[in-house]
């Protein structure tokens, strides 16, 4: 059945292409028939109809492959539909360790309240039955014993729930890994510098981690103070660079909403800030390079690379101070 449909569709396409090729002939015939109804006086003044040039053969549009369509739908659903983004954000918040711990605390607290209530009711029933208020004779003793037994059982469950709640209250969650800040939009001029900054931060973090560990000879490549100083300075510089990128994005939004005559000055301001952002990234890259040279020279006991790390840290500290004043 499917082959018959494909065959019919192919025949229809062939017929359609034949008619398209004959369109110039159809136009010429229509022009000749139209000349019959034009008065002779107007035929002399009118120019002879020129045959229409043959039109290029149109190409049939090709249907995209199904995998590409599915990929486009997946990317659109992941990043462009607000409902999907909200659902993913809620699911991420639901699976956070702090949220899970808080739910466990609530469930344990409710269970503790439930067992305490049952223990109190069973104890009250045992007391009432034991004092003879039910007035059933021998049955009162049995009921008092049963109520006391249930009170002990429910009390045991209550103690376990209380101990579990105490343990949960004393639980200290590990520090959540620092999530990288979101990148600027793709159309922003600050997007590419922020991508470079994220890569440089990852490289510097790995290099400083290696500098914090002793070498095979049992000595430290550099002092812990120098590593901590470089790490702190890099964090301050990255914060200043992101502040400058945020300022660029704010100006871009203002430029998009401004009249046409005002956009030239805003574009010039954006270009100036982008140059400053590139200079700051070059300084950050200098610190990454100095850390890399220090790691490479740590096994040889060279001191020149260690001094270059301190110099790069000082330069980046001054650059970060200037960037903070700009942002």
pLDDT for residue 288: 87
Confidence of residue 105 (pLDDT cuts 50, 70, 90): very high
**Structure tokens of 65?**
């492959």
Nearest to 223 by CA among 107, 231, 10: 231
Q: What percentage of the chain has pLDDT greater than the value 70?
A: 69
- DSSP characters for 20-69? HHTHHHHHHHHHHHHHHTS-HHHHHHSPPPPPPPPPPPPPPPPPPPHHHH
CB atoms within 10 A of CB 154: 20
**Structure tokens of 52?**
């229409």
pLDDT for residue 217: 59
Q: Find out whether 128 and 134 touch, Cβ atoms under 8 Å.
A: yes
Angstrom CA distances, 261 to 8, 61, 157, 256, 264, stand at: 59, 42, 76, 12, 7
pLDDT for residue 29: 79
pLDDT for residue 48: 46
CA 206 to the chain's CA centroid: 23
Task: Of 95-109, 111-125, 167-181, give the lowest mean pLDDT range.
Answer: 167-181
Q: Find out whether 119 and 154 touch, Cβ atoms under 8 Å.
A: yes
Confidence of residue 66 (pLDDT cuts 50, 70, 90): very low
Highest mean pLDDT pick, 143-147, 263-267, 322-326: 263-267
Contacting residues for 135 by C-beta, under 8 A, at least 6 apart: none
Angstrom CA distances, 305 to 165, 223, 234, 292, stand at: 54, 13, 18, 9
Half-sphere exposure of 193 (CA within 13 A, CB side): 26
Whether the CA torsion 215, 317, 235, 204 is positive or negative: it is negative
Report the predicted TM-score, pTM, of the whole model to 2 decimal places: 0.48
Q: Find out whether 327 and 284 touch, Cβ atoms under 8 Å.
A: no
Contacting residues for 191 by C-beta, under 8 A, at least 6 apart: 183, 184, 185
- In the three-class reduction of DSSP (H, G, I as helix; E, B as strand; rest coil), residue 12 is classed as helix
Q: Find out whether 195 and 276 touch, Cβ atoms under 8 Å.
A: no
Average pLDDT over the chain reads 76
Using a 10 angstrom Cβ sphere, with 0-12 exposed, 13-18 middle and 19 or more buried, the burial of residue 266 is middle
Contacting residues for 63 by C-beta, under 8 A, at least 6 apart: none
Q: What percentage of the chain has pLDDT greater than the value 90?
A: 24
CB atoms within 10 A of CB 134: 14
Q: Is the pLDDT of residue 52 over 70?
A: no
Q: Find out whether 299 and 216 touch, Cβ atoms under 8 Å.
A: yes
Half-sphere exposure of 65 (CA within 13 A, CB side): 3
């Amino acid at each position: 059945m499917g082959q018959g449909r494909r065959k019919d569709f192919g025949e229809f396409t062939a017929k359609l292409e034949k008619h398209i090729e004959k369109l110039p002939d159809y136009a010429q015939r229509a022009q000749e028939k139209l000349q019959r109804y034009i008065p002779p006086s107007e035929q002399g003044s009118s120019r002879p109809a020129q045959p229409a040039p043959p039109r290029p053969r149109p190409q049939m549009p090709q249907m995209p492959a199904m995998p590409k369509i599915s990929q486009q739908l997946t990317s659109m659903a992941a990043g462009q539909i607000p409902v999907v983004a909200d659902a993913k954000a809620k699911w991420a918040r639901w699976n956070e360790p702090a949220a899970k711990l808080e739910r466990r605390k609530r469930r344990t607290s409710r269970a503790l309240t439930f067992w305490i209530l049952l223990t109190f009711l069973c104890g009250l029933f045992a007391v009432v039955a034991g004092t003879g208020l039910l007035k059933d004779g021998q049955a009162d003793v049995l009921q008092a014993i049963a109520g006391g037994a249930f009170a002990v059982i429910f009390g045991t469950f209550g103690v376990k729930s209380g101990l579990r709640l105490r343990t949960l209250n004393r639980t200290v969650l590990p520090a959540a890994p620092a999530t990288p800040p979101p990148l600027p939009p793709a159309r922003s001029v600050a997007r590419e510098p922020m991508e470079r900054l994220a890569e440089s931060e990852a490289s510097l973090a790995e290099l400083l981690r290696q500098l914090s560990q002793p070498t095979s000879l049992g000595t430290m490549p550099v002092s812990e103070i120098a590593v901590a100083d470089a790490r702190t300075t890099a964090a301050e510089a990255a914060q200043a660079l992101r502040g400058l990128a945020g300022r660029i994005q704010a100006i871009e939004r203002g430029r998009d909403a401004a009249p046409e005559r005002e956009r030239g000055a805003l574009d010039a301001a954006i270009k100036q800030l982008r140059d400053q952002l590139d200079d700051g990234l070059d300084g950050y890259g200098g610190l990454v390079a100095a850390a890399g040279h220090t790691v490479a020279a740590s096994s040889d006991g060279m001191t020149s690379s260690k001094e270059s790390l301190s110099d790069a840290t000082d330069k980046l500290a001054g650059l970060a101070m200037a960037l903070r004043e700009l942002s």
